[in-house]
Amino acid sequence: MISLDDTKSVNESLIKEAKPATLPRRKLVENDRSFDWITEKVCGIVEEKTPTWWWVCFFISGFVSLFTVAGTIYLISTGVGVWGLNNPVNWGWAIVNFVFWIGIGHAGTLISAILCLLKQNWRTSINRAAEAMTIFAVVCAGIFPLIHVGRVWFAWWLFPIPNANVIWPQFRSPLLWDVFAVSTYGTVSLLFWYVGMIPDLATLRDRAKTRLKQLFYGFFAMGWRGSNRHWSNYEMAYLLLAGLATPLVLSVHTIVSFDFAVSLIPGWHTTIFPPYFVAGAIFSGFGMVLTLMLPLRSIYGLHDLITQYHIDCMCKITLATGSMVGYAYAIEFFIAWYGANDFESFAFINRAFGPYAWAYWIMITCNVISPQLFWFRKVRENPAFVWIVCIFVNIGMWFERFVIVVTSLSRDFLPTSWGYYSPTLTDIMTYVGTFGIFTFLFLLFLRFLPLMAMAEIKAVTPQANPHHNSEGGSH
């Protein structure tokens, strides 16, 4: 495979023009698949007869999502006492779950926006599913801040609408920044996802057999016909959206971390929070992308589109961000000691050796130790192993938020007001239900919308290059 440009004059060029070996680029689509093959493969997922496993998963996830519905109804009709919250821990699972789900979403935007700006072409086969994951994760995340306000019927006070006393919201509060950050994030992610999907919806429209499908895909494809004059504006808009989503995704978790960092609680009041939260968010998000994509890859036989190279890339990002998170844990301890603040030092010793030490060490094991396995090629090449490590990452990142939220609150300044927090069954079931909601939405996406960005994948194949064929002229 390795070929040097000129082999004729090796002797002369050896000293003068010693070049590094040109390593062949990894193929993004294996087996030289044609455009038509890509269309058939991706559209086939939507057009085939609904598989049995889909129905089974659909009903199970639909049933599980009822837990959240029931938990929410019980909460609103009874009051926040149905949760385990009490002084001093007034932020419990609701906030943990909110930060967890928002974090999951970040990998989708990273893949679609940041990797687009960095011209990482391997993103094309995973970005659609990852963006879908982002949107559904934001849906799950959005439930919690809404219901944890206690009196849900006053949630509209968060929006810039004057309330009954003509008082406006208080814009100095990070909680209000959060409202704007998360709602902007949800909206822009949805728009980005939809705009990216327009050409693929046109493909589905052109292939649709029934009238209903023609109308559905036709409506959402907006009459897209692949005109190059359209592509020109479209690509510009897509690039701009990528450029906008990049600072957005970095700001969202930064603002989420401000909810903590702007307070005065030991363990929260640190400047490391924004970068540390963003790295953790991307880490957890990639864990979830792999958790979803590896089973889909084997169910639908997508090995030529999601190649070992893609898995390698995702594992390496997981490893890199996981290491950043590990570094942040270490530096938090160092600063707690170096800062010579008794409360801060205590908060950290309490995290590692206090009543919540079990949660802390689960977090360390899952987030710091388990991704280090991705240093080994043998691990990255074993999808089952990768999947298991990613499950650990998902668990670990939930525990990270639990550790941050609960340990700091349970033992702050005054020992007289210390406490131990435990969730109630309602807490647990409401959270479990969000996995049902997430899976339910993802299954619908799988069945009705193109799982992969066909137009983008085609554009990165060799035959899409106008100079690929012999008839294509010179470079």
Partner 1 sequence: MSDEGKTYGMMASFKTTGAVMQAAEKVRDEGFKHWDVISPFPIHGMDGAMGITRSKVPIFTLIGGATGFFGGNLMIWYMNAYDYAIPVGGKPMFSPMYAFPVSYELTILLAAFGAIIGMLLMNRLPMHYHPAMKHDAVDRASNDRFFIVIESSDPRFDEKTTTALLERIGGSDVTKIED
CB of 286 to partner 1, least distance (A): 23
Euclidean distance between CA atoms 353 and 337, whole angstroms: 15
Among 240, 239, 332, residue whose Cα is nearest residue 279: 332
Site for partner 1 in 242-281 (CB under 8 A): 244-245, 247-248, 251, 255, 258
CB of 151 to partner 1, least distance (A): 21
3-state secondary structure of 257: helix
Any contact of residue 160 with partner 1 (CB under 8 A)? yes
Any contact of residue 193 with partner 1 (CB under 8 A)? no
| Sign for the pseudo-dihedral over CA of 298, 299, 304, 306 | negative
Among 162, 295, 301, 339, binds partner 1 (CB under 8 A): 162
Euclidean distance between CA atoms 419 and 406, whole angstroms: 10
Among 54, 149, 206, 382, binds partner 1 (CB under 8 A): 206
Alpha-carbon distance values, 237 to 45, 245, 256 (Å):
28, 12, 28
Phi and psi torsions of 89, nearest 5°:
-90, 95
Euclidean distance between CA atoms 204 and 157, whole angstroms: 42
Any contact of residue 44 with partner 1 (CB under 8 A)? no
Any contact of residue 234 with partner 1 (CB under 8 A)? yes
Q: Which is nearer to partner 1, 248 or 313 (CB)?
A: 248
The pair of three-digit structure tokens given for residue 257, joined into one six-digit string: 């971390």
CB of 369 to partner 1, least distance (A): 35
Alpha-carbon distance values, 251 to 182, 208, 257, 289 (Å):
10, 40, 10, 21
In a 13 Å sphere around the CA of 415, the CA atoms on its Cβ side amount to: 2
- In this structure, how many other beta carbons lie within 10 angstroms of the beta carbon of residue 70? 14
The pair of three-digit structure tokens given for residue 125, joined into one six-digit string: 């086969």
The pair of three-digit structure tokens given for residue 380, joined into one six-digit string: 């990255």
Euclidean distance between CA atoms 68 and 395, whole angstroms: 19
Span interacting with partner 1, options 92-100, 172-180, 318-326, 383-391, rule CB under 8 A: 172-180
Among 54, 74, 157, 180, binds partner 1 (CB under 8 A): 180
Site track 212-231 with partner 1 (rule: CB under 8 A), x = hit = ------x---xxxxxxxxxx
Phi and psi torsions of 415, nearest 5°:
-60, -25
Site track 442-471 with partner 1 (rule: CB under 8 A), x = hit = ------------xxx-xx---xxxxxxx-x
Any contact of residue 191 with partner 1 (CB under 8 A)? yes
Euclidean distance between CA atoms 462 and 277, whole angstroms: 38
Q: Which is nearer to partner 1, 185 or 392 (CB)?
A: 185
Phi and psi torsions of 86, nearest 5°:
-165, 165
CB of 187 to partner 1, least distance (A): 6
Among 101, 136, 192, 440, binds partner 1 (CB under 8 A): 192
Q: Which is nearer to partner 1, 233 or 417 (CB)?
A: 233
Burial class (CB in 10 A: 0-12, 13-18, 19+), 468: exposed
CB of 222 to partner 1, least distance (A): 4
Among 116, 141, 181, 363, binds partner 1 (CB under 8 A): 181
Any contact of residue 175 with partner 1 (CB under 8 A)? no
CB of 382 to partner 1, least distance (A): 33
Span interacting with partner 1, options 101-109, 178-186, 370-378, 403-411, rule CB under 8 A: 178-186
Among 73, 240, 330, 369, binds partner 1 (CB under 8 A): 240
CB of 155 to partner 1, least distance (A): 17
Any contact of residue 184 with partner 1 (CB under 8 A)? yes
- In this structure, how many other beta carbons lie within 10 angstroms of the beta carbon of residue 302? 20
The amino acid at 97? N
Among 152, 236, 330, 349, binds partner 1 (CB under 8 A): 236
- In this structure, how many other beta carbons lie within 10 angstroms of the beta carbon of residue 459? 15
Site for partner 1 in 61-80 (CB under 8 A): none
The amino acid at 228? N
Span interacting with partner 1, options 160-168, 361-369, 373-381, 404-412, rule CB under 8 A: 160-168
Any contact of residue 169 with partner 1 (CB under 8 A)? yes
The pair of three-digit structure tokens given for residue 159, joined into one six-digit string: 């929006």
The amino acid at 174? P
Among 39, 109, 321, 426, binds partner 1 (CB under 8 A): 39
Among 6, 12, 235, 342, binds partner 1 (CB under 8 A): 235
Q: Which is nearer to partner 1, 122 or 283 (CB)?
A: 122
